[in-house]
Structure 1
Amino acid sequence: MSFLSRMMLLKSKAHLSADVRRAGPSRNRSRAADNAAKRKADMARRRVGLLMFGFAAVYIVIGGRLMQYGYAHPENTSSIIPPDRLMAARPDILDRNGQVLATDIRTVSLFAEPHKIVDADEAVEKLATVLPDVDARDMYRKLSSKSHFQWLRRQLTPKQQSQILALGIPGIGFRPEIRRFYPGGSTAAHIVGFVNIDNRGMAGMEKYIDNQGLAELADLGMTSNARLEPVKLSIDLRVQNIVHDVVAAAQVNFKGKSAGAVVLDAETGEVLGMASYPDFDPNSPEQGAKDGWLNRMSNGTFEMGSTFKSFTLAMGLDTGRIKLTDSFDARYPIKIGGFTIKDFHGQSRFLTVPDIFKYSSNIGTAKIIDVVGIPEQKEYLTRLGLLTKMKTELPEVKMPSQPREWKKINSITISFGHGVATTPLQTAVAGAALVNGGRLIEPTFLPRTLEQADEVAEAVLKPTTSADMRYLFDYNGKFGSGRGARIPGFDVGGKTGTADKVVNGRYDSKLNFNAFLGAFPMGKPRYVVLSFIDEPLTGEQGGTISAYTALPIVRDIIRRTAPILGVEPDFGSLGKDMLVSY
């Protein structure tokens, strides 16, 4: 083999060896690339998996929270929260038939966190657009203070709340609260009473409810969000509305200083209706603060005038010292201690006991009390509850007044209604004892059955005395000063009372306190109605005494309430014949 051939062979082997050497690293690089690609794919898959897991976890958390919120109670800080989340407030007050007299409604109050207020001037200007009556200076003082909480306005309307929310003022919020609402307004104001801005009872049955322990529980934070049982009263809203209307009309028409009336169940002591006028609207009690807050029926004392002659004759009959058939000399006035006792409707003759009652004789009554005696007079008036503080649920009850020392002149004037001042309500309660068989039953504004009344009743007069007094009431209703209250079909009896008012220490005959104590039906009296009007300037037929002012109040009340109370009219045999003819 030539050198050239050998060289060519070696050269080709060298090329082959070089190609072989080059081919080895290339395959290695290909394998590495494949491995890297596989690693990248695996990593990508792991990243996608992690991402999917992350999204799934987030959605699971969100879904779980949504479910939690769905089952949880909502927490609203700028709106009225549901009633089951409200703090327990007050029980509803109902009449005897379930009609609502007082209830709670949900509302909100406006507050501010001054440290969060950006511009106090701007906040005041914006709030004034919704609350035009706001005291801008006072509100600015509150908003610019360094405190963390300030009340701005209590008990907003829903419209005011939404308008303030739309203003978007930072640092302004709303707190859910309770507001007491009285659907009847002033109809039963003095009975139901009212509450203050913090929903605490301030008068009437509202205060009575607090006094039973509700206020103490609230102070201790032991109130519950459970609905409280309503409190049912003895009053009938239908009767109450009539009494209120009649009393208010009389006070206006007769131009009196004040007026009042009560309808009392003589057998149970339940008050079915009672009104004192002027009064107030418990939804805005501050507007009646001057004259309207005083409940003159239970918290005002007055000399009840000749209505007291009923009690004087009752004690004379009960002691046995007089009889209905007895007569007393009423021909001449009585002079004693520089005073002269005379009759307004003088007959100038001997008068029987029924005639003394019929003509309302001061002289005859003075002769009767002289027979009874001062110790017995005091004892009977105390027994009838006319000299002690009356017991009932209403907190507003005034103590009667009496002379420190009872002299003969005091005894005489007290016998016909001057010298002792009592509340009209306790006079009605004592009057009920005269006609219901002689039982004194303390008045109640809560329902009471006949059985419960028997447990609290106290015998203060003989049944025979009560029968005699029913006769006298009926006699006066037929033939005496009570004739004007005699409504056809209803046997109404009673006693008028006209007392001169004391002015500068002396009695002024031109200013009277007039009252009428009535009962019906006289066959078996079930209801007692007492009315009064203070200082009337006019009356029916132009008169200003009781027969023309206080008596018409009782007449109108009985005329409208008797059918509601279930008292059937009795027109005698003529009425029965007319019914048969129909």
Structure 2
Amino acid sequence: MTAGAPPPVPPPPVLVPPRHVPVVSTSDGRRRSQLDTARARLAVGAGAFGLMFLALAARVVDVSLLAEGQPRVPTTPQAVIAAEPRVERASIVDRNGVLLAASLPTAALYANPREIADPWEAARKLATALPDIDPALLAPRLEGDRQFVYIRRHLTPREQDAVNRLGIPGVHFQRAERRVYPQGHAAVHVLGGTDVDGHGIAGVERQFDARLRQGVGEPLRLSLDIRVQHVLREALGRAITRFEAIGGAAVVMDVNTGEVLAMVSLPDHDPAEIATAPAEARFNRITVGVYEPGSTFKLLSTGMALDLGTTRITGGYDASRPITYGRFTISDFRGKNRWLTVPEIFAYSSNIGTARMVLEVGVPRHRAFLEKLGMTRRLPIELPETALPLAPSARNWREINTLTIAYGHGISVTPLHVATATAAMVNGGVLHPPTLLARDPDDPPPLGERVIRADTSATLRRLMRLTVTHGSGKGADVPGYFVGGKTGTAQKVGSHGRYLRDARISSFTGIFPAHAPRYVVYLMIDEPKPQRDTHGFATGGWVAAPAAKEVIERIGPLLGLVPEPETDAIRSALAITLPGQAPPRPAAAPTGQRQAALPGSERRVAAQ
């Protein structure tokens, strides 16, 4: 600054207008605070929903795109919801999958008497829904201090609904099962039955009870063919009716596997009524009934002698006169009374010739052969009902026993024994135990046990065919099926141990086709009566052979076998002739002349 200069003049002050501060009332402040809080809550809620949607989207992506496509099954039983009520007992089917036995879920009706205020009123109400209930019988059971009383075991859905609508306190439902058999009587002796609690008490129901009660897995598949079963039952029933018999039995078996395709015993019963059926109807003649097999046993006797080499197909025996052994006489029914060749002995069913043939084999080897065929023990089939044959013990098996057993007297076996042995005689000589379980066709064939040579078996097939074309089995012949067979007739033994004069067993054991056997058909008629159109006869050739013919005619096409023309190959396989009378030669007479005891026989032993 210069000396003497006037001081600077300061700039005028800038005037800033005062800021206007609005005046906020107390009520406006509270409203603004609430709005801020609401906005904050909405933001939090929107964020939470956003996270939930993101998690859901991630789960959808994981399941649909990232997972390996395997279904996820809950591991806890509580998470499983069954589409249908579960049954505890598995089904039974035939070899083709046809249902034979099944369990259906039902409801059982029971009561808790402690919860019933007026038993008589409850009984009267229940009778309106279940008309077969007698209130007078039910009411006393609803009284007392018990906690459980069965009213009805099985209710239909309609009956259950009717009872439920009554609304009776103390009356409850319990889950139950009912065993049903869609084929009715057809296979009752095979299937057997169950009791009211679903436990097997007979047949395969009992034999496989533990397996069936598991209720899971595949059904039990039997070897039966229900079509064949129906045919066999109808044919057997007609023969029983025609000849006024008291019963009968029949079986069809695969000769190469032992599988039983059909098994019938008459009379029979409804499998659902097994507990109330009469004993005669429950009796299984195929596996429990033991009978003298008669001349069907000559198949075994002839096969044994040929196989052991004690005779030849070109050999023969003197059948011109009966065999006398002490007080016993062995004769022929309508015999030829001359020397007979082996084919003639078989075709004409000579008791004398067969007895002499087996006598050359000897007692020890005869018994050993029958033991090898299972004729002295129970058959190992999948049924609890089987019988032990009635045969002399080894110590008591004497020469007279060999003589009579040769033609099927003095020994009693089941029809299944005869059918099983027949299969072994014609299938090449291999014994297969009978079975009721179906084999898988892809499995290798069962081994079995060889009992005769293959060439012996081929000779027996020729002899069986000869019996049907020229012998006692003509009634069984079916064109195109080349049936072979052997008839049998045996008198029945009474309770006193003697043969009954007018009571007999008439039977036929057959095979088809004889040149390449596939099946055995055995039929037995119990106590047939002679008829006018059979000229007063009731033998196996008149009674059982025609029934076998009907069976073979009907089941052949079902089993895939069609009638064939007789080709050179078939003719060669079955070639055998009945030679003329051969020059007689001395025959060894039975060595034993002592008074031998023959089980269940009379003085005169003669098979028809």
Q: Which TM-score applies when normalising by structure 1?
A: 0.80
1:546 matched to which residue of 2? 540
Residues 1:521 and 2:513 aligned together: yes
1:371 matched to which residue of 2? 360
2:302 matched to which residue of 1? 313
- Unaligned residue ranges in structure 2 (runs of 5+): 1-75, 569-608
1:207 matched to which residue of 2? 206
Task: Give distance in 2, aligned partners of 1:448 and 1:509.
Answer: 45
2:562 matched to which residue of 1? 568
Cα shift readout 1:506-561 (whole Å, capped 9, x = no counterpart): 11231101110100101111111101010012456253111111112211110100
1:110 matched to which residue of 2? 109
Residue 448 of structure 1, CA deviation: 2.1
Counterpart pick for 1:304 among 293, 303, 312: 293
Aligned residue identity for 1:392: I
Task: Give distance in 1, aligned partners of 2:77 and 2:398.
Answer: 74
Residues 1:508 and 2:507 aligned together: no
1:558 matched to which residue of 2? 552
**SS where residue 286 of structure 2 aligns?**
helix
The residue correspondences of 1:529-544 to structure 2 (distance < 5 A) are: 529-538=521-530, 541=534, 542-544=536-538
* 8 A contact 1:189–1:281 mirrored in 2: yes
* 8 A contact 2:120–2:135 mirrored in 1: no
Aligned residue identity for 2:116: I
Residue 288 of structure 1, CA deviation: 2.4
* 8 A contact 1:400–1:421 mirrored in 2: yes
2:144 matched to which residue of 1? 145
1:170 matched to which residue of 2? 169
1:471 matched to which residue of 2? 462
* 8 A contact 2:195–2:275 mirrored in 1: no
Counterpart pick for 1:429 among 398, 420, 423: 420
* 8 A contact 1:345–1:361 mirrored in 2: no
1:66 matched to which residue of 2? none
* 8 A contact 2:257–2:446 mirrored in 1: no
The residue correspondences of 1:314-329 to structure 2 (distance < 5 A) are: 314-329=303-318
Report how many residues are paired.
490
Task: Give the alignment's Cα RMSD to 1 decimal.
Answer: 2.4
Residue 177 of structure 1, CA deviation: 0.7
**SS where residue 522 of structure 1 aligns?**
coil
Task: Give distance in 2, aligned partners of 1:166 and 1:211.
Answer: 38
Residue 573 of structure 1, CA deviation: 6.4
Task: Give distance in 2, aligned partners of 1:564 and 1:85.
Answer: 37
Task: Give distance in 1, aligned partners of 2:185 and 2:334.
Answer: 39
Q: Percent identity?
A: 42
* 8 A contact 2:85–2:105 mirrored in 1: no
Would the alpha carbon gap of residues 82 and 159 (structure 1) be closer, same or farther in structure 2, given more than 3 Å must change?
Answer: farther
* 8 A contact 1:280–1:287 mirrored in 2: no
Task: Give distance in 2, aligned partners of 1:450 and 1:374.
Answer: 41
Q: Which TM-score applies when normalising by structure 2?
A: 0.77
2:585 matched to which residue of 1? none
1:244 matched to which residue of 2? 233
* 8 A contact 2:307–2:456 mirrored in 1: yes
Would the alpha carbon gap of residues 83 and 512 (structure 1) be closer, same or farther in structure 2, given more than 3 Å must change?
Answer: farther
Cα shift readout 1:167-218 (whole Å, capped 9, x = no counterpart): 3221111111111111001111111221111111111111122155x56xxx
Would the alpha carbon gap of residues 245 and 340 (structure 1) be closer, same or farther in structure 2, given more than 3 Å must change?
Answer: same
Counterpart pick for 1:330 among 316, 319, 327: 319
* 8 A contact 1:266–1:525 mirrored in 2: yes
Residue 142 of structure 1, CA deviation: 2.1
Task: Give distance in 2, aligned partners of 1:450 and 1:423.
Answer: 29
* 8 A contact 1:268–1:453 mirrored in 2: no
Would the alpha carbon gap of residues 451 and 330 (structure 1) be closer, same or farther in structure 2, given more than 3 Å must change?
Answer: farther
Would the alpha carbon gap of residues 397 and 116 (structure 1) be closer, same or farther in structure 2, given more than 3 Å must change?
Answer: same
1:411 matched to which residue of 2? 402
Task: Give distance in 1, aligned partners of 2:220 and 2:83.
Answer: 20
Task: Give distance in 2, aligned partners of 1:127 and 1:290.
Answer: 35
Would the alpha carbon gap of residues 508 and 230 (structure 1) be closer, same or farther in structure 2, given more than 3 Å must change?
Answer: same
**SS where residue 134 of structure 1 aligns?**
coil
Task: Give distance in 1, aligned partners of 2:246 and 2:560.
Answer: 33
Residue 336 of structure 1, CA deviation: 1.0
Task: Give distance in 1, aligned partners of 2:246 and 2:94.
Answer: 29
* 8 A contact 1:189–1:280 mirrored in 2: yes
**SS where residue 279 of structure 2 aligns?**
coil
Residue 138 of structure 1, CA deviation: 4.6
Task: Give distance in 2, aligned partners of 1:381 and 1:210.
Answer: 33
Task: Give distance in 2, aligned partners of 1:89 and 1:543.
Answer: 53
Moved more, 156-165 or 476-485: 156-165
The residue correspondences of 1:131-142 to structure 2 (distance < 5 A) are: 131-134=130-133, 136=135, 138-142=137-141
* 8 A contact 1:94–1:232 mirrored in 2: yes
1:347 matched to which residue of 2? 336
Residue 356 of structure 1, CA deviation: 0.6
Residue 426 of structure 1, CA deviation: 1.7
